[in-house]
Amino acid sequence: MDTVQESTSAGNAGSGKPRAKWATQIMLLAALLSVLVPFLFWRGTWFGRPLTEEELGKYFADEAQPRHIQHALVHVGERITRGDPAVTRWYPEVIQLAGNPHAEIRITLAWVLGADPRSEEFHGVLRGLLQDSEPMVRRNTALSLVRFGDDSGRDEILAMLRPFIVRAPAGGTLSYQLPVGTPAERGTLLARLETGQGTQDIPSPVPGTVERKLAEDQSAIIDGQEIAVLAPEAKQAWEALRALYLVGRIEHLAVVEPYARGGITGMSPEVQAQASLTAAAIRRRKQEAGVSSQ
């Protein structure tokens, strides 16, 4: 009996070593994957990764992956900024994206088109995008047009400095998802509608802070009804003030000066400083215009 027990114990000890080794290998593999998988995801989605010419062509053609098209656009924009003359070969692919159904692509496009203010083709595309249904497309378009010396988007630029009214996309029972005072990015869920066809989300069309609710929670509303007011976001306000520094008119001071006085809630010192510079530039242009007309 003693001999049998010793033999069995020795067998168990021997089989434990492979098991321990296998368990260690599994743990190492899991640790490796925990690093590798996020890296591969990041590498595939990070817009800053350079693309080869072959990749660029594939990304522009990849209609199934809108983020690939965005990545290609960002890459082209960076090459334009660096002064790469060879990048113009991709301008036809860039221009045709003006009709893309994905708002995110048109938002990126409107920004990239401003990188080459010498291109009349880009200028013409921007003029058309100023009528886009998406507010963020119009805003980026207006800012890009300023680089062409074109102030036709000034109404959109001024809108970036004013509260934004959110309207219901359909009729139904309204359920708010964010309390007043909550910051929201574009796409943040503001409210939900219970309609006859089911539940419909209402995302924030622009960045901002929920300033007011214009309907009662759980109330019945109609299509197009005003449901919320978003206060301007600091980054958007700063971009708008920079643009008005170049194209602002004397009548725009009524919108700019409250920012210069620090009277707009949620704004940074940088926004206030830019507002002061913008107001001074507008007054200077007015004065110079008056002198030249004499």
Q: Is the per-residue pLDDT at 194 higher than 80? A: yes
pLDDT band at 18 (very low <50, low <70, confident <90, very high): low
Average pLDDT over residues 276-285: 97
Q: Is the per-residue pLDDT at 11 higher than 60? A: no
Residue-level pLDDT at 16? 55
The residue ranges of every structural domain in the chain are 48-152, 164-231, 233-294
Helix residue ranges, H only, the chain: 2-45, 53-61, 66-82, 91-95, 103-112, 120-129, 135-146, 154-159, 234-247, 253-260, 269-292
Residue-level pLDDT at 50? 83
Asked if 205 and 134 touch (Cβ cutoff 8 Å), the reply is yes
Residue-level pLDDT at 46? 52
Class of domain 164-231: mainly beta
Residue-level pLDDT at 290? 72
Q: Is the per-residue pLDDT at 162 higher than 80? A: yes
Total count of residues recorded for the chain:
294
The matching CATH number, chosen from 1.10.1060.10, 1.20.120.80, 1.25.10.10, 3.40.50.300, for 48-152 is 1.25.10.10
SS3 271: helix
C-alpha span between 168 and 176 (Å, rounded): 12
C-alpha span between 254 and 271 (Å, rounded): 16
Give the model confidence (pLDDT) of 165-176 as tens digits.
Answer: 999 999 999 999
**Which residue, 175, 265, 266, 161, is CA-closest to 227?**
175
Asked if 186 and 164 touch (Cβ cutoff 8 Å), the reply is no
Structure-derived torsion over alpha carbons of residues 98, 101, 102, 103, reported in degrees to the nearest 10: 60
Give the model confidence (pLDDT) of 22-39 as tens digits.
Answer: 655 555 544 444 444 333
Q: Is the per-residue pLDDT at 58 higher than 60? A: yes
Q: Is the whole-model pTM more than 0.95?
A: no
Cβ atoms within 10 Å, residue 226: 13
Percent of the chain residues past pLDDT 90, beyond the cut: 79
pLDDT averaged over the chain?
Answer: 88
Average pLDDT over residues 142-150: 97
Give the model confidence (pLDDT) of 106-119 as tens digits.
Answer: 999 999 999 999 99
Asked if 117 and 80 touch (Cβ cutoff 8 Å), the reply is no
Q: Which residues 6+ apart lie within 8 Å of 154 measured at CB?
A: 142, 244, 247, 248, 249, 252
Asked if 260 and 279 touch (Cβ cutoff 8 Å), the reply is yes
Q: Which residues 6+ apart lie within 8 Å of 289 measured at CB?
A: none
SS3 191: strand
Half-sphere exposure for 186 (CA within 13 Å, toward CB): 12
Strand partners, 184: 208
Which residue bears the tokens 């203010």? 117
Average pLDDT over residues 119-148: 97
Half-sphere exposure for 208 (CA within 13 Å, toward CB): 25
Asked if 194 and 173 touch (Cβ cutoff 8 Å), the reply is yes
